[in-house]
Chains A and B, each alone.
Chain A
Amino acid sequence: MIGGGRSLVVAAVVLGVGLAVSALPAAAQGRLELGVGVGAVSGHPVGGADATLTPNTGTAAGGFTLFSTESELEAATALDLRLGWRLSRIFAVEAGLGYATPNVATRVTGDAEAGSPRLDTVLSQWIVDGSVVAHLTALEAVGGRLRPFLVGGLGYLRQLDASSALVASGGVVHAGGGVKYAVWNPTDSWVKRVGVRAELRFLIRNDGFDFEDRRRTSVSGFASVFLAIF
């Protein structure tokens, strides 16, 4: 499961930045924000294993290794859908849905009879997350069109195999930041802002597809377009 203490730290940082700036009516920015983007998620190791046999008397001490494996969840491109609700000029909450198809590359080593084959297992990976976003209004530029933000939150990870059956599930804590740039900013329309968004996140994964059940870290980056309405 996700470490609650870590998420509290992320929330506290976001809150601190937000309090340092003044708040203006949220409606002027468009309360509801929809976004869709593409990006990439970095890979990370998912563990190794040794196929060890019990040695006979007078043979290898400590076990006879028939073969060993090392596996890595490789970097993958990802799609990201985001729905945000602006609470104030500074704060917003977001719900996100991420999808990727990372490959688990498994290398077999030490097998005297089989060389070093590589196995490829493609997963379907879904992440549903919730985030708090703090817009750094004090750092706005380009007449308010360019707006940096910090983001942090929690997510639920599901990884499926080729038959769409659940392989593993887990939790994700994320924290990061980025910028939004309003390409179109109408004043007399229900559409309040249309723009692009770039974002970098640091991810800490618990559970999920991992042979050692260890906490893993990775980085994701996304570029997206957004539409703010109402």
Chain B
Amino acid sequence: MKVRGTWRAATALALAVVLAGASPLEAYLKLGFSQDPDQVLRWGPGTIRYFVGDRDLPGVSGEAFRQAVGRAFASWEAVPTATATFDEVGFTGLSPLSEDGVTTVGFEDLFDFDERVLAVTSLLTRTGSGEIIEADIAFNAAVAWSTDGQGGFDVESIAVHEIGHLLGLGHSAIGETELRPTGGRRVIASETAMFPIAFSSGSTEGRLLQADDRAGVSDLYPTPEFQQATGSISGRVQKGGASVVGAHVVAFNLQTEDLVGSFTVGGDGRFVVAGLPPGPYLLRVEPLDDADPDSFFDDVAAVDVEFRVGFASRIVTVRAGADAAVDLEVVSK
């Protein structure tokens, strides 16, 4: 699986999901960090209006596609701690990959992408502010799709993932993969809709948002209650006194058993896991060595994968409205 992070016209970012492709990884990541760590890509206030492509495919009518996409938007809108809302305008014959100021979700021939790519989200953002002004989701028309879980990749599951990108979320790395005999990787398990590799054809498990997804969208579009009721864990990951870039840090709630992740970004090895309900957490740090780090970072040369999985030396208590500082020390493989 491969997630793309290529800029279009200097202001657009494209992301993709693949079949059972090359790379995996975890935790939610706000888009825009790789351009400017202080700039986050998100929509401005108000309801996000979208059109649905009217193209039919064998086994998936335009109406069935519209309903599946609508359910996926509804899943994100139902997160009680986030303010993102959506409004379906109707069908359109416009291409989902055209820069026309219209947010469109539909089938498209993705000739320019790896054949394993299931869908792509492209964002048009306002330079400087990071505000998203258009987002298109293109489902690969060459793939076998399904809306009822009976054979083919599940439209709703993939739509949930791509809508996460539409909202400004990057890939999350809470998942495990295995190498396939035929090449690439296959997902064994994951606990986020934003994992870069999809579940196998026929699976509908990806329809469900997980704690990592809810924390991510709530961090981008928080309700006032969310900001008051949650806390964060921040710190640095170091190896022999040097900062570790690209480490995947996961906070595990010992009471609810929820997993929420983040990465060390920037050159100082700092991480922030935000949107955490108060409680006791265990922090686990691991290298991005299960797949291609470019699923997550543009500058993969800086990503350090030469360290062992480790844990914080103590349980970290998160309190509402507060940040808990914890530094993690890892050792070389």
Contacts and interface: CB of A to CB of B under 8 A. Distances in A.
- Whether chains A and B associate is yes
Interface of A: 47, 49-60, 63-64, 66-67, 69, 71, 104, 106, 108, 111, 113-114, 117, 119-122, 161-162, 165-167, 209, 211-213
B242 interface: no
Given A114-B308, A117-B311, A53 B200 contact: no
- Tell me whether chain A's interface is mostly helix, strand or loop, or mixed: strand
Contacts of B210: 54
B284 A57 contact: no
B286 A113 contact: yes
Given A50-B257, A54-B190, A119 B309 contact: no
Closest 4 CB pairs of A and B: A64-B189, A53-B189, A113-B309, A114-B309
Interface string B25-50: 00000000000000000000000000
A63 B255 CA distance: 18
Interface stretch (B53-61, B68-76, B136-144, B312-320): B312-320
Interface string B196-233: 00011011010010100000000000000000000000
Interface in B248-301: 252, 254-255, 257, 259, 280, 282, 284, 286
Contact of A51 (B186, B190, B252, B313): B252
A119 B312 contact: yes
A220 B61 CA distance: 70
B315 A57 contact: no
Contacts of A55: 188-189, 205
A49 B252 contact: yes
B286 A54 contact: no
B255 A49 contact: yes
Contacts of A113: 286, 308-309
Nearest to B178: A59
Contact of A161 (B252, B286, B317): B317
Interface residues of B, number: 36
A56 B203 contact: yes
Nearest to B287: A113
A71 B202 CA distance: 39
B191 interface: yes
Please indicate which of the listed interface residues B190, B259, B313, B315 has the most CB atoms of chain A within 10 Å of its own CB.
B315
Contacts of B309: 111, 113-114
Nearest to A66: B176
A211 B189 contact: no
27 contacts: A47-B254, A49-B257, A51-B257, A52-B257, A53-B174, A53-B189, A54-B210, A56-B190, A56-B200, A56-B203, A57-B200, A59-B188, A67-B284, A71-B254, A104-B315, A106-B254, A108-B282, A111-B309, A113-B286, A114-B284, A119-B311, A119-B312, A119-B315, A161-B317, A165-B317, A167-B317, A212-B255
Contacts of A49: 252, 254-255, 257
B190 A53 contact: yes
A106 B315 contact: yes
